[in-house]
Amino acid sequence: MSTTNHPTSSTTAPDGSQHLAAGQHVALRLWENEEPGAPKPLSSKPYETVGYVLKGRAELHLEGQVTTLEAGSSYLVPQGASHTYKILETFSALEATSPPAR
Q: Does residue 2 have a pLDDT over 50?
A: no
Is the confidence at residue 102, as pLDDT, over 80?
A: no
- The DSSP secondary structure of 35-58, one letter per residue, reads PP-SPPPPB--SSEEEEEEEEEEE
More confident residue, 42 or 2: 42
Q: Which residues pair with 28 in a beta bridge?
A: 21, 96
The whole-number pLDDT of residue 9 equals 57
One-letter amino acid of 97? T
Q: How large is the average pLDDT for residues 94-98?
A: 97
Q: Average model confidence (pLDDT) for the chain?
A: 90
What does the pLDDT look like over 37-82, one tens digit per residue?
888 899 999 999 999 999 999 999 999 999 999 999 999 999 999 9
pLDDT value at residue 29: 96
Closest CA to 11 of 25, 30, 26: 30
Residue closest to 73 by CA, chosen among 50, 42, 43: 50
Percent of the chain scored above 90 by pLDDT? 76
